[in-house]
Amino acid sequence: MGPVGRKKHGIVLGQLDVANQHRTTEDTMITVAYTSILHFVLVLTLGGVLGASFSLGGEPTGPAPIVPVEKDRPRHDGFLTIAKAGGVDLLFHGDSITDGWRSGGSSVWEKYWAPLKAANFGIGGDRTEHVIWRLRHGELEGIQPKLVVLMIGTNNSDPAEDVALGIKTIIADINERSPSSRILLLGIFPRGAKPDVRARNEQVNMIIAKYADNRRVVYLDIGAAFLMPNGTMGTDVMPDFLHQNLKGYQIWADAINDTVHQMLKEDLSRLLPRITTPSPVSKVAKQEALIVNGKVELGTKGLEKLVDDKNPETANAANTSLAMVKEWKTAMDKDIAQYRQEGDLFLAGELLAGMVAAYSGDSAKAYKVQLAEVKKDPAYDAGLAYQKLRQIPYAQRKDPRFTAMVTAFVKKYPNGYYAKQAQALVPKE
């Protein structure tokens, strides 16, 4: 996976002065973020976790929702042009419901999302397999958006389990091609005038909700916001019982606005435990507030004391929150180990530094030892140097001088993760 830096690493060479370029929005798709071996691992993972099989040519041959299908090349080509121009922080991806931000929701888009450097890659009629094809044919080439808002699946007529596999494959593809991006995964919106026609989509949502790790992938089901209290759908929000009008897009924007802004601000290397609903027990909520504000060790120690509280409600609430923090810490430790194994020592160092800050007391010692080890490794210096290359905007990477810079980098750091990453920065066209 690709690195996420805290600092800007500007570089000047002739007219290649990009010191004022934005840090993450103009990165290229890192096509070899997984080497052929890691790609094989990904294939095995998808085959095992997603229940897919693969042909010798590398394309999945399992359920239809995971088999890439081309549908609308002209629209796709237009998205390629947008991606290669760079400057996208927020990307909406999906089908006609997402596409509708251009029509019924255009005024809401201009108010809420346009100021956030947003792009809309929704295409009417798309199913999961179409989005998979588009991602695998360059729609993230030239950009690594900070956040991808994904909502797809209502057009699939397949069993719920298969549709969920398609969505999981899309998440894997985004992670592979834009590893610094986070994903706001939306539950499939309700459709039909009455609840009895929504069972399949609701089944899909129950499955994909489990894909959220509340670090890189956050799940939100905002479907109830479009419905009346009795579960029916009014034409004042979705005139055809599927697509939103202006009122519907306003509801959508209001429902995700806070989460979008929060996720855009959060640094991937400084992710903290996410507590979306504070505990109703005030003692526990107080410790949770410390945790979400970066004082993880202090809040954790507070929860550990409350576990023995004489009030069963307080003790149970503390146990629940403490389990969440432990799960987050385990996941972060796993990520650090994975990045070190893959050779991405820069990102491993970033995450370790974040954990040192989160655990400022005795618990930080082990992370400090790991961080010192990482920084002593020559590959860490290669990672620092690589950050300078990846800050060059995609459009300027066609300049022969950029190719020369990459050649010089590979000559200096010929082996390991970053050599292949650097070579992937050079446009293939």
Claim to verify: residue 204 and residue 107 sit in the same structural domain: yes
Chain-wide mean pLDDT for the chain? Answer: 84
The whole-number pLDDT of residue 19 equals 32
- Asked if the structure places residue 400 within a domain, the reply is no
Task: Based on the residue annotation, tell me whether 243 is a catalytic residue of this protein.
Answer: yes
The whole-number pLDDT of residue 132 equals 97
Q: For the residues 217-237, what does the mean pLDDT come to?
A: 91
Q: For the residues 158-167, what does the mean pLDDT come to?
A: 97
Claim to verify: residue 220 and residue 303 sit in the same structural domain: no
Highest mean pLDDT among 44-58, 158-172, 267-281: 158-172
Report the alpha-carbon distance of residue 187 to residue 355 in Å, rounded. 31
Task: Write out pLDDT tens, residues 264-291.
Answer: 988 776 778 878 788 999 999 999 999 9
- Asked if the structure places residue 386 within a domain, the reply is no
Q: For the residues 170-182, what does the mean pLDDT come to?
A: 89
pLDDT surpassing 50 at residue 32: no
DSSP result, 263-328: HHHS-GGG-----SS--SSHHHHHHHHHHHTT-HHHHHHHHHHHTT-SSHHHHHHHHHHHHHHHHH
The whole-number pLDDT of residue 60 equals 60
In eight-state DSSP terms, residue 148 is: E
pLDDT band at 41 (very low <50, low <70, confident <90, very high): very low
- Asked if the structure places residue 20 within a domain, the reply is no
Task: Based on the residue annotation, tell me whether 157 is a catalytic residue of this protein.
Answer: no
Give the 3-state secondary structure of residue 341: helix
Highest mean pLDDT among 85-99, 236-250, 412-426: 85-99
pLDDT surpassing 50 at residue 34: no
pLDDT band at 429 (very low <50, low <70, confident <90, very high): low
Claim to verify: residue 242 and residue 367 sit in the same structural domain: no
The whole-number pLDDT of residue 177 equals 85
Contact 419, 413 (CB under 8 A): yes
pLDDT surpassing 50 at residue 35: no
Domain that holds residue 370: 282-376
Comparison of pLDDT for 307 and 242, the residue scoring more: 307
Q: CA-CA distances (angstroms) from residue 371 to 154, 351, 356, 368, 375?
A: 45, 9, 9, 5, 6
Claim to verify: residue 334 and residue 299 sit in the same structural domain: yes
Sign of CA dihedral 119, 125, 201, 66: negative
Least confident of 78-87, 251-260, 368-377: 78-87
Claim to verify: residue 258 and residue 295 sit in the same structural domain: no
- Asked if the structure places residue 80 within a domain, the reply is yes
Which of these three, 219, 237, 270, is where a domain ends? 270
Claim to verify: residue 263 and residue 358 sit in the same structural domain: no
The whole-number pLDDT of residue 224 equals 92
The whole-number pLDDT of residue 86 equals 87
Task: Write out pLDDT tens, residues 70-98.
Answer: 999 999 999 999 998 888 999 999 999 99
Claim to verify: residue 51 and residue 156 sit in the same structural domain: yes
Least confident of 54-63, 135-144, 286-295, 331-340: 54-63
Give how many domains the chain has, as a whole number: 2
Return the CATH number at 261.
3.40.50.1110
In eight-state DSSP terms, residue 147 is: E
- Asked if the structure places residue 112 within a domain, the reply is yes
Claim to verify: residue 203 and residue 259 sit in the same structural domain: yes
The whole-number pLDDT of residue 402 equals 93
Which of these three, 214, 244, 270, is where a domain ends? 270
Report the alpha-carbon distance of residue 163 to residue 205 in Å, rounded. 10
The letter for the amino acid at 268 is L
The letter for the amino acid at 235 is T
- Asked if the structure places residue 418 within a domain, the reply is no
The whole-number pLDDT of residue 206 equals 97
Report the alpha-carbon distance of residue 428 to residue 246 in Å, rounded. 41
Claim to verify: residue 317 and residue 363 sit in the same structural domain: yes
Residue carrying structure tokens 């929704």: 122
Task: Based on the residue annotation, tell me whether 89 is a catalytic residue of this protein.
Answer: no
Claim to verify: residue 265 and residue 295 sit in the same structural domain: no
First-last CA distance in the chain: 23
- Asked if the structure places residue 297 within a domain, the reply is yes
Contact 108, 165 (CB under 8 A): no
Tokens representing 201 are 């989509």
The whole-number pLDDT of residue 198 equals 87
Claim to verify: residue 76 and residue 112 sit in the same structural domain: yes
Which of these three, 376, 392, 418, is where a domain ends? 376
DSSP result, 203-261: HHHHHHGGG--SSSEEEE--GGGGS-TTS---TTT-TTSSS--HHHHHHHHHHHHHHHH
Q: What percent of the chain has pLDDT over 90?
A: 60
Contact 303, 325 (CB under 8 A): yes
One of 196, 240, 258, 362 is an active-site residue; which one? 240
Task: Write out pLDDT tens, residues 111-145.
Answer: 999 999 999 999 999 999 999 999 999 999 888 89
One of 9, 39, 72, 96 is an active-site residue; which one? 96
pLDDT band at 59 (very low <50, low <70, confident <90, very high): low
- Asked if the structure places residue 172 within a domain, the reply is yes
One of 76, 93, 130, 243 is an active-site residue; which one? 243
Claim to verify: residue 83 and residue 141 sit in the same structural domain: yes
As beta bridge partners, residue 220 has: 186
Q: For the residues 324-334, what does the mean pLDDT come to?
A: 91
Q: What percent of the chain has pLDDT over 70?
A: 85
Give the 3-state secondary structure of residue 136: coil
pLDDT band at 39 (very low <50, low <70, confident <90, very high): very low
